[in-house]
């Protein structure tokens, strides 16, 4: 249990030039949610009393993105290093007495449990000056190294370029994420110098300063994937892939069947029940809930939709915002739904568009049926009663109601309400002219031969 309040400082002032984008780097999405918001949600889950986002270039984009949240914005008008960026949050945290997490807006995957572990160690060991989040990558490369004892107490932190061969052989690296008491943080930052090649104020220097005050620091270790940063489109794709890999594993561990896991892409808020089956090449957008036993067949795209137990969709189905499949309802190949409810046991098996519609339990929607819901200016609803049968290639021009048990003959264009249990036929009477086709062909061939 925490015994002190928590604040978070999220650094988001970088230029992000390698992204080559007009969108601020931290607003690029992972699993359908901006990177920054992944962190904001985790910090909120930890119960942070204050959250400060430090911005620089394109600050207006970040401010607009967090509008409505209990977030304070601090501006770093000059890019003078990470230590300087954290200092920009000092006014926002004036009077705050507690612990401070320092995070990076382009390092979005760090787990809530990892943050909590950092704070827990800081609070349980009063002698510690700071907590540093370390990791062990497959390739340590040019990361700064952390030299620590078996108890996690840091003996030395050294940049790769300054490290000896022995120190370079250590694979414990510095992620840059830290936890510090507010009472210590800004005092330490005030003492950080910029006597280095870049002339910048580096946040990790506070570890050495705290050690000089007889306040050692400790390292908490995270998995390397948690602290992967995003500086380019390629790294964005890598972090997305990492998030998806872990989400797939979570889903399968919870009782979801993924036939080809690597081909399924989840959104940040996808909710899946037990015994859900997801076939290959399915994409989930935000706002999807699948109840126990639901099935998504291959090559389907689902966003903003709900499927109740035993419902099925696809293959090649598209469920858009507001689509609801009730218990046991089914849509098949090349069926699209938007703001429509398909009642219990109802089905639309092929080549159908159901928009702004309510379809009753047990109804059958024939191939090629569409609800004509838009007149170019406004949207209108279609209501189809329980047990109704809509024949193939029908157009239902909204607003229109099809009664319970009614039958719509194939090829109909329905513009008026249909009563319960009625048969509606809306098409020209079929006529046959004997021999007409042969006479037509003969005449056309003769004309062609003359040419």
Neighbours of 103 (CB within 10 A): 26
Distance CA 287, CA 295 (A): 17
Q: Which sign, positive or negative, has the C-alpha torsion 68, 70, 75, 81?
A: negative
Q: How far is CA 422 from CA 98, 345, 390, in A?
A: 72, 21, 12
Of 370, 369, 400, 368, nearest in space to 385 by CA: 400
For the CA atoms of the chain, what is the radius of gyration? 31
Catalytic residue, candidates 38, 84, 297, 350: 350
Coil/strand/helix, residue 120: helix
- Do the Cβ atoms of 400 and 426 come closer than 8 Å? no
What stretch of H or E contains 93? none
Neighbours of 166 (CB within 10 A): 8
Distance CA 35, CA 266 (A): 15
Question: Which runs of consecutive H residues, i.e. helices, occur in 67-181?
Answer: 82-87, 112-124, 165-168
Residue 384 CA, chain-centre distance (Å), reads: 34
On the question of a cis peptide bond just before residue 399, with omega within 30 degrees of 0, the verdict is: yes
Distance CA 249, CA 245 (A): 6
Q: Is 350 a catalytic residue?
A: yes
Distance CA 409, CA 324 (A): 26
Residue with tokens 């089914």: 330
Q: Which residues contact 208 (CB under 8 A, 6 or more apart)?
A: 157
Helices (H) and strands (E) in the chain, counts: 9, 33
**DSSP state, 275?**
T
Distance CA 48, CA 194 (A): 31
Distance CA 157, CA 175 (A): 12
Distance CA 207, CA 256 (A): 45
Distance CA 255, CA 238 (A): 26
Please classify residue 349 by burial: count the beta carbons closer than 10 Å to its beta carbon, then call 0-12 exposed, 13-18 middle and 19+ buried: middle
Distance CA 170, CA 210 (A): 23
Enzyme catalytic residues: 350
């Amino acid at each position: 249990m925490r015994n002190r309040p928590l604040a978070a400082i999220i650094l988001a002032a970088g230029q992000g030039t390698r992204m080559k984008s007009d969108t601020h780097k931290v607003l690029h999405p992972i699993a359908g949610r901006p990177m920054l918001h992944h962190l904001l949600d985790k910090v909120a889950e930890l119960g942070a009393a204050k959250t400060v986002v430090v911005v620089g270039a394109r600050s207006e984009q970040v401010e607009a993105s967090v509008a409505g949240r209990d977030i304070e914005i601090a501006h770093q008008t000059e890019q003078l290093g990470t230590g300087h960026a954290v200092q920009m949050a000092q006014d926002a945290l004036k009077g705050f007495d507690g612990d401070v997490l320092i995070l990076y807006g382009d390092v979005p995957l760090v787990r809530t449990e990892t943050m909590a572990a950092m704070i827990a160690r800081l609070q349980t060991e009063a002698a510690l000056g700071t907590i540093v989040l370390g990791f062990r990558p497959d390739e340590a490369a040019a990361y700064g190294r952390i030299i620590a004892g078996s108890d996690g107490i840091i003996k030395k932190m050294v940049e790769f370029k300054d490290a000896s061969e022995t120190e370079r052989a250590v694979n414990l690296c510095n992620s840059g994420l830290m936890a510090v008491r507010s009472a210590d943080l800004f005092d330490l930052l005030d003492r950080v110098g910029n006597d280095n090649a870049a002339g910048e104020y580096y946040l990790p220097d506070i570890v050495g300063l705290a050690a000089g005050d007889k306040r050692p620091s400790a390292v908490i270790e995270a998995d390397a994937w948690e602290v992967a940063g995003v500086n380019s489109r390629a790294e964005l794709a890598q972090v997305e892939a990492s998030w998806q890999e872990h989400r797939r594993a979570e889903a399968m561990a919870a009782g979801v069947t993924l036939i080809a896991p690597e081909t399924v892409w989840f959104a940040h808020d996808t909710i899946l029940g037990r015994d859900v089956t997801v076939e290959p090449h399915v994409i989930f957008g935000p706002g999807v809930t699948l109840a126990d036993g639901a099935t998504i067949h291959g090559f389907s795209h689902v966003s903003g939709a709900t499927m109740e137990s035993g419902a099925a969709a696809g293959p090649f189905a598209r469920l858009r915002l507001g689509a609801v499949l009730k218990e046991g309802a089914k849509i098949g190949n090349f069926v699209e739904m938007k703001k429509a409810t398909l009642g219990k046991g109802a089905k639309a098996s092929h080549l159908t568009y159901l928009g702004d519609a309510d379809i009753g339990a047990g109804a059958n929607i024939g191939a090629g049926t569409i609800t004509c819901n838009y007149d170019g200016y406004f949207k209108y609803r279609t209501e189809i009663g329980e047990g109704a049968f809509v024949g193939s290639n029908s157009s239902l021009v909204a607003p229109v109601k099809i009664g319970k048990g009614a039958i719509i003959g194939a090829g109909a264009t329905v513009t008026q309400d249909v009563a319960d249990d009625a048969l509606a036929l809306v098409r020209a009477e079929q006529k046959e002219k004997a021999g007409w086709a042969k006479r037509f062909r003969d005449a056309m061939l003769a004309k062609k031969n003359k040419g």
